[in-house]
Structure 1
Amino acid sequence: MLPPEALVAPEAVPAPAGLVNLPVRRLFVGREDALGWLDRTVLDPGVVVVQAVHGLGGIGKSTLVAQWAATHRDEHRPTWWITADSPAALDAGLVALAVALQPGLGAALPSPALREWAVRWLACHDGWLLILDNVIDPDHITDLLARLPRGRILVTSRRATGWPDLVTPLHLDVLEPDQAVDLLTEIVSRAGAAIDPADAAAVCDELGYLPLAVEQAGAYLAQTRVTAGDYLRLLGQHPAHMYRDGGEGRAAERTIARVWQVTLDALADDPLPGRLLRTLAWYAPEAIPRDLWHHTGGDGQEEPAVVRAIGRLAAYNMLTVDPITRAVTVHRLVQAVARTPDRDDPHRQTDDITAARSAATKALTAALPDGWRNPTTWPAWRALIPHIDALATVTRAHSTDSDRGAQAYLLNQAGLFLHEQGSLPQTIAYLEQVLTDLRRVLGDDHPDTLVSVSNLAGAYRAAGDLGRAMPLFERVLTDSRRVLGDDHPDTLVSASNLAGAYRAAGDLGRAVPLFEQALADVRRVLGNDHPHTRIVHDNLQAAIEGANSE
């Protein structure tokens, strides 16, 4: 039974007051020109306004937009923030919006239906503000923008080009020197410390006036009470690892790397914070659930120790913790540096980073819900999918066979959940990767590989792609008979699946005899009363009826 609210059309659901999910506000200084640019935008009823704030990683794009949105929160209903760094993350944010607008829908509708509900709601309402943070590729949001005829959308991205014509871009540069000094001074003074203006100017100059780097430096100075001169000396003695390829973000990566090492030195009395940060670096940057990060301690670490280590990292602005959900966010540049080995950095040794990658996989595996058909597990699955996706993506360049084997399980489980939800393109992408990895690690004849072939064939069939499904169904039956034997349960299922595919393709001449053989085999092996026997019997009858009606 669907709850009553599931039957209410999006058009009939009013915009609730006070629905705002902005991230925790950071200390904000300057940016008067950028704020004025956002303020001067003229909104016409019934016309969508899309603006993209772009610039270097760590430049403060998200902080600027969050500040403006918070200042104008009473003018919009709702104000909704989505981390949109992948199509999967964008979908997850739209699903969350649907549930926020109609809470009863969360356990009633699958994810694709919730996403569609949210888009329909936005399309037929006005006065809302949608923030799409850290868009990697403009193509990821083009279809969404085309469906929204009204409202206001703010985008943040490193991309300066490639935006649709309806998007108005704004380039955001580093802070002005006096603004960076004001930011650093305010952070230090809030902790009850002080810094000379000339020293503050020297630190900001060394950090290139990058807001994120200034914030981290201020946290370090406030926490340790070292002098600005000592801080600059430490930076000089520990030069950052430079990424080999240039392009956007190179200077920012260098600056963050330098600050990252100095900060971890201050936490070196306990190895756990550094280990946790290296592990969290393999996930999506935002909304790492508490049920995931508390598994990342490893080595039998008790939960209080993990919580304390997370708190210490938060004190240095290396990450933030949502005060309500306790979900953790790590800046994507900090993650990038933490994943990059540097033989001159004791916190980024190759073996430690490899161990962290393995720990990230184990923690995600431990956090997976039991099953995926129970609607009560769907919110947990949705929270984990972006992190499974990120782990698989960023690990691909570093993967060993051990990584591939462990992550194949994660991707397979995620693929089965997404299949159940009807998200077939993402399902197929995951299951294709699973099959490739299992063939490489286990070989074609391993039982897990055979199950993977069957899962992928089922996803192709569900997507209507019988041209790719049929050869896989045929191969898995042949291989299962050879490897497992005619009477193995997996072989019996494979025979039934192939017969079903023949029937779906309209080839009843092959479907009926195979169903007949499958039914005889399951009766002999499993008995007449086994559920699978009854399923094969019903499928055979349907196939016979279809053949007789031709």
Structure 2
Amino acid sequence: MVGGRTEGRIFTPPPLPRSNFGSPRSSSPSNQTGLSSSLGGDIGEADADRLADALGDLPLAVEQAAIWRVHSGMSAAQYLTLLRQHLAEMPDDEPGEYGMMRSVASAWSVPLHHLRTEFPAALQLLQACAYFGPQPIPQSYFTAVGVPVPAELAQAMADPQELDRIVQQISDYGLAKVDHRRKTLQLHRLVLAVLKNQLSPEEKVDMRHAAHVLLAHANPADPGAPRSWPRYAELLPHVIMSEAMRCSKDDRVCVLLIHVVMYLLSCGDYQGAADLAQQIVAEWRDRFGETHADTLEMTRLRGRALYRLGRYDESYQLNRRIYKVVRDTFGEGNMLFLRTANSLRMSLRSRGSFVEELQMQQNIFERSCHVLGRGHPNTLEYANNLAGCLRLNGQFFKARQLDEDTWRRKKNVLGEDHPDTFLTLNALAMDMRECGEHIQACRIQEDNLAKQRAVVGDEHPRTIGAMRNLAVARRKAGLYEAAADLSQACVRMYRRRHGARHLDTFTAQMCLSADLRQLGRLPESRKLGELSHRLFVERYGEKHPYTLVAAINLAVTLRLLGMVEVARSRDEQTLTVLRDTFDSDHPFCLVAATNLASDFAALGALHTAYEMDEDTLERSTRTLGGRHPSTLSVALNLAIDLAQLNRHEEATALHARTVTDLENVLGVGHPATMYAISWTRANSDTDTMQF
């Protein structure tokens, strides 16, 4: 079922009461007294009984009859005569769920017939509403101009006072539930069916199309902005019930459908987006053709939803196919090609092709700068993605520079409280963390998460991703208990949202495993680490960079539990694959090499540990800088190697410099600083660096 979200919380239209229209009233004496009251209060029991019998004892019909009699002042006898006339005009074999309830339809025909002669605009408004859903319909939908509706309704829509008047008439006759505070009207499912059944085939076509255009006019045209999400949540059930996907007369309706699916993606309803996009693609492929731009764009959105659901192979195959179609049909110098290329680029990450992904995203960004300009929102999105590619390829400082520029531009273009602006600040905090600014990164992300929660809600996928990022930042800042608390919350929320086998879930579990290791809870850390690593292997294979990150982190725990040879073997294999995938200066390689040297030291291979640490220190200094915490960790370990090799003077000098730098970079009270003071080897972990 397609749902939606409001303020980051799942929105599912509630089931509406059926008014028990299918259950006749009881014939008990107490109910007969109540029936007399329901039918107007001035009606005798005999007349009430005849009237109820004519209405099939159905509550919805009885309620409508009472409202009409009170409003019109019509006697029971007059109403019964009029009711029988309408019944006689109706076919006996009306099809459908509601067709059997001729008495209900006839009860409604009485006020509808009156509207046709006295207030045609009111009837026409109801006929247009017949193609909406049974959820509340904002009255503002009927303020559009240029909508193909009958002249009387068009005139009323152009005059706010007249529109209010006909809505009041509808309310007075009990034909719709009108909420004056929210300015909405709502029709029962049965009423919708009755209204449709009274239209001619030509009128049905015209009114359905009018409903589609009315909905298109109500499109906020900003599906990524949280302020628009409540309006899309209102539109969603009506878009579905009106079968807007079948409209081929107005391009604005296609735009609306694209925006509705984008809204579902933006607010985190990935399953709803995938389901609705699939239905629309099937319809549009038949109506417009597979190479039509709208069909391709909707297919792209479906691929994006599949990716977010963790259906990576399906997403990749879909994105690769439409990429070729768009390129061959429209060329490469257009927005559709750039969006499609960006979706395919996203799929490359799930396949572990980080280097190829970076090259492709660099090309997308440069093309977008040329086609759209550097400040266009799409270009800013591509810049954000390019920074992510740089980060995964170990180019942290370039990523930080690009993210900082993009964040400033997004604040000006989109606003400081836009979800995409939060996303870039989240990325910038991650860059700062990976560049070694652990304390500042943690502070920035704490503030960013609080603001993001206030705008999109606690349960939004991006909020949970920002929480996980903060958990890593807290761990790097030495706040181990706070990190573990946040990681545990992420695991719970991801399991509830995605289940146990989604990437987000087992990535959060890997993060929690590292937190528990820092807290000394090694058996728990191992259990979660092994579970996470196994799930990475099952999803991505042994050689995917994400799997290798999980292997690095797990090996530290295994060594600390005394399984040193197992840890050494795992680290050695991991480092070999990482060096084949990237180069030896990639930070993933540096972390793996740091831990492998510690494995050798624990096994008593002191010269091997020393040689590895010496090489890693030189590489880390060149790649990350001499005062980066990872570089200082290697320097500490090298000092310990020197001491164990009886080179005490060199060891003491290096140790003193390293401790001073750690005190300046992380602070005197940081656990890493205190471990360094006590000549305890440093362990390194890393992260998949995703949102």
TM interval, short-chain normalised: 0.5 to 0.7
Partner of 2:309: 463
1:256 corresponds to 2:256: no
Question: 1:198: Cα distance to partner?
Answer: 2.6
**Which amino acid in the other structure matches residue 111 of structure 1?**
R
| Residue aligned with 2:240, SS | helix
**Which amino acid in the other structure matches residue 63 of structure 2?**
E
RCO (CA 8 Å, sep 6+): is it higher in 1 or 2?
A: 1
1:441 corresponds to 2:292: no
Question: 1:204: Cα distance to partner?
Answer: 1.1
Which structure 2 residues correspond to residues 30-429 of structure 1 after superposition, within 5 A?
88=3, 106=7, 110-112=8-10, 133-134=15-16, 173-176=24-27, 182-183=33-34, 185-186=36-37, 189=40, 194-239=42-87, 240-241=90-91, 244-245=94-95, 251=100, 253-267=101-115, 268-292=117-141, 298-301=153-156, 302-341=159-198, 348-392=199-243, 399=246, 401-402=248-249, 407-429=253-275
Partner of 1:61: none
Partner of 2:336: 490
Question: 1:243: Cα distance to partner?
Answer: 6.1
Question: 1:416: Cα distance to partner?
Answer: 0.8
Gap change, CA 1:365 and 1:202, over 3 Å in 2: same
Gap change, CA 1:540 and 1:497, over 3 Å in 2: same
**Which amino acid in the other structure matches residue 177 of structure 2?**
T
Question: 1:276: Cα distance to partner?
Answer: 1.3
**Which amino acid in the other structure matches residue 178 of structure 2?**
V
Question: 1:187: Cα distance to partner?
Answer: 5.1
Partner of 1:103: none
Structure with larger Rg: 2
Partner of 1:432: 278
TM-score normalised over the length of structure 2 = 0.49
Gap change, CA 1:515 and 1:332, over 3 Å in 2: closer
Does the CA contact (< 8 Å) of 2:39 and 2:65 recur in 1?
no
TM-score normalised over the length of structure 1 = 0.61
| Residue aligned with 1:452, SS | helix
Question: 1:333: Cα distance to partner?
Answer: 0.7
Quote the Cα distance in structure 1 between the aligned partners of 2:391 and 2:39: 75
**Which amino acid in the other structure matches residue 278 of structure 1?**
Q
Question: 1:215: Cα distance to partner?
Answer: 1.5
| Residue aligned with 1:299, SS | helix
Q: Deviations over 1:239-286 (max 9, x none)?
A: 33556557x6554x3222111222211222221121111121222223
Question: 1:181: Cα distance to partner?
Answer: 5.3
**Which amino acid in the other structure matches residue 209 of structure 2?**
S
Question: 1:205: Cα distance to partner?
Answer: 1.0
Gap change, CA 1:540 and 1:380, over 3 Å in 2: closer
More strand by share: 1
| Residue aligned with 2:65, SS | helix
Question: 1:180: Cα distance to partner?
Answer: 6.4
Q: Deviations over 1:473-519 (max 9, x none)?
A: 11222122222223223323433332221122213475355446546
- Where does structure 1 lack aligned partners over 5 or more consecutive residues? 1-85, 96-105, 116-130, 137-155, 160-171, 342-347
Gap change, CA 1:480 and 1:263, over 3 Å in 2: same
**Which amino acid in the other structure matches residue 350 of structure 1?**
P
Q: Percent identity?
A: 22
| Residue aligned with 1:321, SS | strand
| Residue aligned with 1:236, SS | helix
Q: Deviations over 1:116-151 (max 9, x none)?
A: xxxxxxxxxxxxxxx975489xxxxxxxxxxxxxxx
More helix by share: 2
Q: Deviations over 1:499-550 (max 9, x none)?
A: 2211222134753554465466557666888646644643553454464157
Partner of 1:42: none
Which structure 2 residues correspond to residues 518-533 of structure 1 after superposition, within 5 A?
518=364, 521=367, 531=380
| Residue aligned with 2:154, SS | coil
State the aligned residue count: 385
Quote the Cα distance in structure 2 between the aligned partners of 1:418 and 1:304: 35
Gap change, CA 1:535 and 1:242, over 3 Å in 2: farther
